[in-house]
Copies of this chain bind each other. A is one copy, B any other.
């Protein structure tokens, strides 16, 4: 790739991937950019522009080869690999994520869950026993941990984030309501549920917005 791609484009790729997967599941092997655009409610020109960032996959008069495009996006997103995840915080959010089997189908494997609460440590959630957060350092030495899921309460989030960074874990999926300065090449992806709910409240009260 010659140029840097905007994160706005990147964030649309999973959606393409989802739609193309649905098409494949329904036995559709080829689609015009017009049909894809109607299905996805995005302009055909937007789709062409997005996909051109990664090379040209459409053919004039033929449209897109669904499987080829699906596989290419899979590779672009890095979903041809698998990832080892640990969940930090074994509360309801941590448990909900561990129980969500769809992530594994995409190659995201939970290999550990940690908490500081002695009443939770040692209990079993799905296939994993909750470990003491103090064991995390040794665990990261003995296992290849790619991504830490930060699911601790706000007041512990900074402490745990510092541990993640110092133990050399490179990816953070952040469910705490805190934001962190990127450091040491650590990649953070935030899920701000309250922000999402506030956005819904805004839309609920106002028609003064455009959907982009």
Contact = CB atoms under 8 A, between A and B. Distances in A.
Say how many copies of this protein the assembly contains: 2
A194 interface: yes
A123 to B, nearest CB: 15
Which of A146, A177, A210 has the most chain B CB within a 10 Å cutoff?
A210
Contact of A196 (B191, B199, B206): B191
Given A92-B100, A95-B96, A200 B189 contact: yes
Contact of A171 (B76, B102, B200): B200
Interface residues on A, range: 35 or more
A79 B99 CA distance: 32
Contact of A189 (B8, B18, B100, B196): B196
Contacts of A103: 194, 197
A10 B20 CA distance: 29
Nearest to A107: B201
A209 B4 contact: yes
A141 interface: no
Interface string A69-95: 000000011110101000000011101
Interface in A93-144: 93, 95-97, 99-100, 102-103, 106, 108
Interface in A16-59: 17-18, 41
A13 B202 contact: yes
Nearest to A173: B200
